[in-house]
């Protein structure tokens, strides 16, 4: 819409978690100049799997094969849920666009076919998700094969923390008789007692280490139809490393996400940073927003930044709040209640602290505190105490929104991507023609 200059832009996005990244991407794709403020958020801890909606209702723990059927049920039964407010067609487009951008940045995902997939976790459980990195999809294909689960070899590395192929095989054994496990030394790290996934991922970008690893696995294949490995197949060049393993072993190879901080989380963050750079989003990743105000000119807002010497002041025609919940610091909780950190916006929350949690911590219906957040109007603008938009061009997206429990509903990325898309539609609409960036 306008080419941004210096410290002014059409849209300032506060937050660089999944929701902030999605909002900045969609702003840039709509031709809006964008400045994004904040560091990586929960992405570093993410598995690389993009959940859309896996569980509904949360209290029943019902898993859905089709996330779109789940969304339809959500819209009927919980119309106030932020995901239920986004048109399913728009969600489809938003996901396609997000995944395409990641693919351009070198992080390929399996084609989205409108259905949820089952993916093996490091605990040996199955996770229901939607967007699956190409490096993990052979595992999902194997798990879902119509003729039953074919023999498979899981390999781990001596000394790799918190990843045991034996534990996965033991957990799944009775449901997957042909699942075998083997442990090997990681070439070049034989004498290292404790290995870290990111180090192995970097080491496997060297052709020599890759070939030595493949040569160690080759004699163990037996009747395996596929090979599962911890998610360490490269960092910035994961596509090439994965392809080299498949070619070298002559079988489908799949990664299993490891515990946070995970290599897939690092890859996702790296890819999103490349996407931002390619789309011309100006990032202030070492800064945070200290204050936000409407300034004298009714069409703009001013953001005061910390984190750079002397601070910085930005001017934006619209602002998207994507500051997350408690871990992102968008919300804080104390004895007096839950507060929105930046502007003190009213937070929808239980009437008293006693109502924050169920008596049973593992209660399947979850805890009311996890559904606390900002109330918004139909245009994704957070409301003030009188129920009016707090500012005419302030929008809120992602996990800071009220009425959802993304962790239990398995809708983290879905919530981020869908709400960012829907809010950015409103932003573009409100900003209309020429910009002032």
Ligand X SMILES: Cc1cc2nc3c(=O)[nH]c(=O)nc-3n(C[C@H](O)[C@H](O)[C@H](O)COP(=O)(O)OP(=O)(O)OC[C@H]3O[C@@H](n4cnc5c(N)ncnc54)[C@H](O)[C@@H]3O)c2cc1C
* Residues in touch with ligand X (CB under 6 A): 14-20, 37-42, 45-47, 49-51, 260, 288-289, 322-324, 327-330, 342, 398-399, 406, 412-413, 415-416
Which secondary-structure segment (H or E) carries 293? Answer: strand 288-294
Q: Taking the complex as a whole, how short is the minimal distance between the CB of residue 102 and ligand X, in angstroms?
A: 13
Minimum CB distance to ligand X smaller for 230 or for 328: 328
Minimum CB distance to ligand X smaller for 210 or for 283: 283
Q: Burial of 393 by CB count in 10 Å (0-12 exposed, 13-18 middle, 19+ buried)?
A: buried
Q: Are 45 and 262 in contact (CB under 8 A)?
A: yes
Q: Taking the complex as a whole, how short is the minimal distance between the CB of residue 42 and ligand X, in angstroms?
A: 3
Q: Taking the complex as a whole, how short is the minimal distance between the CB of residue 147 and ligand X, in angstroms?
A: 28
Axis-axis angle for helices 88-104, 67-77 (nearest 10): 140
Cβ neighbours of residue 375 under 8 Å, at least 6 residues apart?
346, 348, 382, 383, 402
Minimum CB distance to ligand X smaller for 17 or for 228: 17
Minimum CB distance to ligand X smaller for 150 or for 341: 341
Minimum CB distance to ligand X smaller for 238 or for 399: 399
Residues linked to residue 401 through DSSP beta bridges, in sequence order: 374
Pairing state of beta strands 8-14 and 312-321? parallel
Distance, CA of 147 to CA of 29 (rounded, Å): 43
Residues in the chain: 437
Peptide bond into 26 cis (omega under 30): no
Q: Taking the complex as a whole, how short is the minimal distance between the CB of residue 281 and ligand X, in angstroms?
A: 14
Q: Taking the complex as a whole, how short is the minimal distance between the CB of residue 413 and ligand X, in angstroms?
A: 3
Q: Taking the complex as a whole, how short is the minimal distance between the CB of residue 344 and ligand X, in angstroms?
A: 12
Q: Taking the complex as a whole, how short is the minimal distance between the CB of residue 19 and ligand X, in angstroms?
A: 3
Minimum CB distance to ligand X smaller for 234 or for 412: 412
Minimum CB distance to ligand X smaller for 183 or for 329: 329
Q: Taking the complex as a whole, how short is the minimal distance between the CB of residue 303 and ligand X, in angstroms?
A: 9
Cβ neighbours of residue 168 under 8 Å, at least 6 residues apart?
120, 122, 123, 124, 154, 179, 181, 228, 256
Cβ neighbours of residue 154 under 8 Å, at least 6 residues apart?
165, 168, 169, 179, 180, 181, 182, 227, 228, 229, 256
146-185 b/e with 16+ CB inside 10 Å = b? eeebbbbbbbbbebbeebbbebbbebbeeebebbbbbeee
Q: Whose structure tokens read 């666009």?
A: 97
270-293 b/e with 16+ CB inside 10 Å = b? bbbbbbbeebebbbbeebbbeebe
Minimum CB distance to ligand X smaller for 18 or for 204: 18
1-10 b/e with 16+ CB inside 10 Å = b? bbebeebbbb
Minimum CB distance to ligand X smaller for 249 or for 275: 275
Q: Taking the complex as a whole, how short is the minimal distance between the CB of residue 22 and ligand X, in angstroms?
A: 8
Q: Taking the complex as a whole, how short is the minimal distance between the CB of residue 372 and ligand X, in angstroms?
A: 14
Pairing state of beta strands 34-37 and 282-284? parallel
Distance, CA of 375 to CA of 229 (rounded, Å): 43
Q: Taking the complex as a whole, how short is the minimal distance between the CB of residue 95 and ligand X, in angstroms?
A: 11
Q: Phi then psi for 107, rounded to 5 degrees?
A: -110, 95
Q: Taking the complex as a whole, how short is the minimal distance between the CB of residue 131 and ligand X, in angstroms?
A: 8
As given in the structure block, the two tokens for residue 402 are 């009220």
Minimum CB distance to ligand X smaller for 65 or for 290: 290
Positions of E strands within 159-277: 179-184, 227-230, 253-256
Minimum CB distance to ligand X smaller for 241 or for 292: 292
Minimum CB distance to ligand X smaller for 83 or for 253: 83
3-state SS assignment for residue 415: helix
């Amino acid at each position: 819409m306008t080419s941004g200059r210096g410290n002014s832009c059409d849209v300032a996005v506060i937050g660089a978690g999944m929701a902030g990244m999605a909002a900045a991407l969609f702003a840039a794709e709509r031709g809006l100049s964008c400045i994004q403020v904040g560091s990586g958020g929960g992405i570093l801890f993410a598995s690389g799997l993009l959940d859309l909606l896996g569980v509904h209702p949360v209290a029943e723990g019902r898993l859905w094969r089709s996330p779109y059927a789940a969304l339809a049920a959500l819209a009927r039964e919980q119309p106030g849920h932020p995901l239920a407010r986004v048109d399913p067609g728009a969600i489809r487009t938003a996901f396609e666009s997000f995944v395409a951008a990641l693919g351009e940045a070198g992080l390929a995902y399996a084609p989205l076919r409108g259905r949820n997939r089952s993916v093996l976790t490091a605990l040996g459980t199955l996770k229901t998700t939607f967007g699956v990195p190409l490096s993990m999809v052979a595992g999902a294909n194997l798990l879902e094969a119509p003729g039953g689960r074919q023999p498979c070899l899981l390999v781990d590395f001596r000394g790799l923390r918190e990843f045991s192929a034996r534990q996965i095989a033991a957990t799944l054994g009775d449901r997957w008789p042909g699942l075998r496990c083997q442990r090997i030394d990681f070439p070049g790290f034989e004498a290292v007692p404790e290995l870290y996934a990111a180090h192995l991922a970097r080491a496997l970008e060297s052709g020599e280490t890759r070939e030595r690893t493949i040569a160690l696995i080759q004699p163990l294949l037996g009747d395996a139809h596929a090979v599962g490995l911890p998610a360490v197949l490269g960092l910035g060049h994961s596509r090439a490393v994965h392809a080299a393993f498949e070619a070298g072993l002559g079988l489908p190879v799949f990664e299993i996400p490891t515990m946070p901080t995970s290599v897939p989380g690092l890859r996702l963050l790296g890819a999103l940073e490349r996407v931002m750079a390619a789309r011309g989003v100006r990032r202030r990743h070492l800064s945070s927003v200290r204050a936000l105000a409407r300034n004298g000119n009714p069409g703009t807002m001013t953001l005061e930044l910390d984190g750079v010497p002397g601070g910085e002041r930005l001017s934006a025609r619209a602002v998207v709040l994507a500051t997350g919940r408690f871990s992102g610091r968008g919300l804080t909780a104390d004895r007096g209640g839950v507060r929105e950190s930046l502007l003190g916006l009213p937070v929808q929350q239980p009437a008293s602290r006693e109502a924050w949690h169920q008596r049973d911590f593992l209660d399947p219906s979850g805890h009311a505190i996890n559904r606390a957040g900002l109330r918004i109007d139909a245009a994704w603008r957070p409301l003030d105490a009188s129920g009016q938009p707090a500012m005419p061009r302030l929008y809120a997206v992602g996990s800071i929104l009220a009425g959802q429990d993304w962790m239990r509903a398995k809708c983290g990325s879905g919530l981020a991507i869908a709400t960012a898309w829907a809010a950015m539609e409103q932003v573009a609409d409100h900003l209309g023609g020429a910009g002032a960036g």
